[in-house]
């Protein structure tokens, strides 16, 4: 089917669970939609080998549930995992907040099968955990946004799941934000699995803001480790001027997932969510600078800072779509002056395509364009959706 489209000059849009539809540009033209969700079979799972192979349309949640039954996991940390597909999550290059501890999802891809635009099928890697036979093509396909080929199946390595998880919430009194973020990121011997500074997102994410926002921290490990980690966290936050830290007793994983879901939760047509990366020691400062920029443009700003990895997620919004539309392009320009790499990860606003949704293309964009030309010379797959017009 792909071969025919390619030969006929038709444009194909590849769609998975549509959970990250807020990323990238709308396609130049769509003659055919290739929906991968029917490719949802598990191919092989060998728990004692810590390897799993599945078709790319399998839902992330289905994989997570299966692995959990055997005390294993893969840190996808994707939003809305009941809908997110394996292939889509990988193709979008989604980066989860636990990656400083467990690695990026691409580090778990041992091999893949891809269908190229001309219909040919190619395999990369294998099923073993160490493999240097040739180029690591799977890692090239991860994050390629469906523009080099369609992932048909993926081989993953798995990890033993941590025994326990605990989520902490702390309202931040005035003047404590910078120290709290710094201490959590740098002064805990037992590093949190995830730690966020959050401002806003009142219904989406647990807890209420103090004057300086709130922190949500996920600790994972054995029972013994968690006891010590809890004591350390409380005393460390105390030293940062944060007197009270409460535990979210039931549903630590759900509380964590709500934060991840919030990354791409849009307020209909009246919000745009940006994401940019930073070094952990700089993220909080840069987040505040962008918040001030948003305020100057009369935009409401809600923020999630992943303090362990340095990611900043900001949802800017106005009272309605029209109000957003009148300032968003100016804001987008100003934002990219100070944060050239800021990307849009969620928005339903009609003017989205006029924003720099991928941020400034990297210096190597010409090489990337060449790669695209070699893999998909007729520009059949997801044309125009990706960085630099790819």
Question: Is 279 near other proteins (CB under 8 A)?
Answer: yes
Contact code string over 218-247 relative to other proteins, x by CB under 8 A:
---xx-xx-xx-------------------
Length of the chain counted residue by residue: 390
Q: For residue 385, count CB atoms less than 10 angstroms from its CB and return exposed for 0-12, middle for 13-18, buried for 19 or more.
A: buried
If binding is defined by CB under 8 A, does position 389 make contact with other proteins? no
DSSP conformational letter for 104: -
Position 296 contacts other proteins (CB under 8 A): no
- Angle (nearest 5°) at CA 134 between 363 and 75: 70
Cα separation, 200 vs 314, whole angstroms? 10
Least separation in angstroms between CB 368 and other proteins:
5
What is the spatial distance between Cα 128 and Cα 145, in angstroms, rounded to a whole number? 25
Cβ-count burial 289-308 (b if 16+ within 10 Å, e if not): ebbebbeebebbbbbbbbbb
Interface positions, 178-207, toward other proteins (CB under 8 A):
186, 189-191
Residue from 25, 90, 124, 215 touching other proteins (CB under 8 A): that is 124
**Interface with other proteins (CB under 8 A), residue from 368, 380, 382, 385:** 368
Place of tokens 């635009």: 117
CB of 269 to other proteins, least distance (A): 25
Q: Which is nearer to other proteins, 268 or 362 (CB)?
A: 362
Size of interface with other proteins, in residues (CB under 8 A): 76
Give the x-and-dash track for 149-168 against other proteins (CB under 8 A).
----------xxx-------
Residue from 5, 12, 105, 114 that binds other proteins (CB under 8 A)?
114
User: Following DSSP, what letter does each residue of 224-242 receive, concatenated?
Assistant: HHHHHHHHHHHHHHHHTT-
Q: What is the footprint of other proteins within residues 55-94 (CB under 8 A)?
A: 71-72, 93
Question: Is 42 or 160 the residue whose CB approaches other proteins more closely?
Answer: 160
């Amino acid at each position: 089917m792909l071969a025919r489209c390619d030969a006929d000059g038709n444009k194909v849009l590849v769609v998975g669970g549509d959970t990250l539809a807020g990323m990238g540009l709308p396609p130049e033209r769509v003659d055919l939609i290739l929906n991968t969700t029917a490719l949802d079979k598990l191919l092989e799972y060998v728990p004692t080998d810590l390897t799993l192979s599945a078709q790319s349309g399998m839902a992330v949640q289905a994989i997570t549930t299966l692995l959990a039954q055997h005390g294993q996991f893969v840190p996808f940390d994707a939003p809305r995992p009941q809908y997110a597909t394996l292939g889509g999550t990988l193709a979008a290059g989604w980066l989860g907040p636990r990656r400083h501890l467990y690695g990026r999802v691409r580090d778990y891809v041992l091999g893949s099968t891809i269908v190229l635009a001309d219909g040919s099928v190619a395999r990369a890697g294998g099923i073993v955990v160490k493999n240097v036979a040739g180029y690591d093509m799977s890692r090239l396909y991860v994050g390629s946004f469906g523009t080099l080929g369609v992932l048909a199946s993926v081989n993953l390595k798995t990890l033993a799941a941590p025994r326990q998880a605990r989520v902490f919430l702390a309202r931040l009194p005035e003047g404590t934000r910078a120290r709290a973020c710094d201490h959590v990121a740098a002064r805990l011997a037992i590093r949190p699995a995830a730690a966020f500074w959050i401002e806003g997102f009142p219904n989406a994410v647990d807890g209420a803001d103090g004057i300086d926002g709130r922190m949500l921290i996920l600790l994972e490990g054995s029972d013994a480790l968690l006891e010590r980690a809890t004591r350390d966290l409380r005393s460390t936050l105390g030293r940062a001027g944060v007197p009270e830290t409460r535990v979210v007793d039931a549903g630590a994983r759900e509380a964590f997932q709500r934060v991840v879901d919030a990354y791409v939760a849009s307020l209909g047509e009246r919000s745009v969510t940006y994401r940019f990366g930073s070094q952990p020691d700089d993220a909080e400062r840069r987040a505040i600078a962008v918040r001030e920029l948003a305020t100057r443009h009369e935009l409401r700003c809600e923020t999630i800072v992943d303090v362990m990895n340095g990611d900043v997620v900001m949802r800017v919004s106005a009272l309605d779509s029209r109000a957003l539309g009148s300032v968003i392009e100016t804001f987008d320009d100003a934002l990219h002056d100070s944060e050239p790499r800021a990307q849009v990860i969620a928005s339903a606003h009609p003017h989205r395509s006029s924003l720099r949704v991928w941020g400034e293309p990297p210096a190597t964009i010409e090489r990337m364009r060449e790669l695209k030309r070699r893999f998909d010379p007729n520009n059949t797959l997801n044309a125009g959706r990706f960085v630099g017009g790819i």
